[in-house]
Amino acid sequence: MKNIVVSNVCKQHKKKNILENITFKAKEGRITAFLGPNGAGKSSTLRILLGLDRPLSGTATFGKKNYSNFTFPLQIVGSAFDGIGGTPSRKVKTHLKIIAKSNNIPNKRISEVLDIVDLSNKSHAQLGTLSLGEGQRLGIAIALLGDPQYLVLDEPTNGLDPMGIKWFRNFIRRQADQGKTVLLSSHYLSEIEAIADDVVIINKGQIVVTGELHEVMQSIETLEDVFFLLTEGGN
């Protein structure tokens, strides 16, 4: 199976445990939401998954392989994490060409992804002139460049207007329906409730719940209520 599997990941910072036995799975063809309050350990977990940091112990893999083992990782994993990079004066199309070349992706793919995220009219714009929402769309375009099996998106709807959020809902559902493995984090719980198949909630460096969205919510009215119950000391 083409799953993302995080297994018994532990991480320390200055001898303090910041991740304790983090274990969960994001499944092929499904949208898995990774949720938690600020400082809970989401970013630390995603950094380890994307090869930006190393765990004290445990593994985080894509289809049983570490991110660092891929020769051209963007052809396997697409991620929108920690901004789009690039100098403010660089043009959008140039930025995408540089990234495409680094991962042996044909230039024809650039126009395709710009069309997918509705940024074709910004191909010659400088990165520094993009709005927050446009920057988010460009980050998604970068994630799509290699037509990857796996998508890891951190706060993908941040800065999007209502039309942009509606577009993202349809876009991410299509990706999952095409068999992609989608893992995303977000603070917008109502949006997660509208799109997620599965939910993983982390708090204080520990996983507090995993499961299908409808199972996690059970008789509780909203995902927001579940989130606060689990992260503010409730049962």
Same domain, 55 and 159: yes
Q: What is the CATH number of the domain that holds 57?
A: 3.40.50.300
**Structure tokens of 97?**
């060409």
Domain that holds residue 114: 77-147
Strands lying side by side in the sheet with 181-185: 77-80, 150-154, 181-185, 31-35, 198-203, 206-212
Alpha carbon 144 to its chain's center: 12
Same domain, 216 and 111: no
Would you state the pLDDT for residue 233? 58
CA neighbor of 193 nearest in space, from 167, 174, 212: 212
Would you state the pLDDT for residue 35? 93
Same domain, 36 and 84: no
pLDDT tens-place values along the chain, 235 residues long: 899 999 999 999 888 899 999 999 999 999 999 999 988 999 999 999 999 999 999 999 999 999 999 999 999 999 998 778 889 999 999 999 999 999 999 999 999 999 999 999 999 999 999 999 999 999 999 999 999 999 999 999 888 889 999 999 999 999 999 999 999 998 888 888 999 999 999 999 999 999 999 888 876 778 888 888 888 754 4
Same domain, 175 and 206: yes
Same domain, 164 and 143: no
Would you state the pLDDT for residue 219? 62
Same domain, 198 and 235: yes
Q: Count the neighbouring beta carbons within 10 Å of the beta carbon of residue 99.
A: 19
**Cross-strand bridge partners of residue 25:** 5
Same domain, 43 and 25: yes
Last residue in a domain, options 147, 180, 209:
147
Number of domains in the chain: 2
Same domain, 224 and 168: yes
Same domain, 41 and 153: yes
Same domain, 120 and 191: no
Last residue in a domain, options 130, 147, 164:
147
Please report how many Cα atoms fall inside a 13 Å half-sphere around the Cα of residue 124, on the Cβ side: 1
Last residue in a domain, options 124, 147, 170:
147
Same domain, 198 and 83: no
Would you state the pLDDT for residue 187? 83
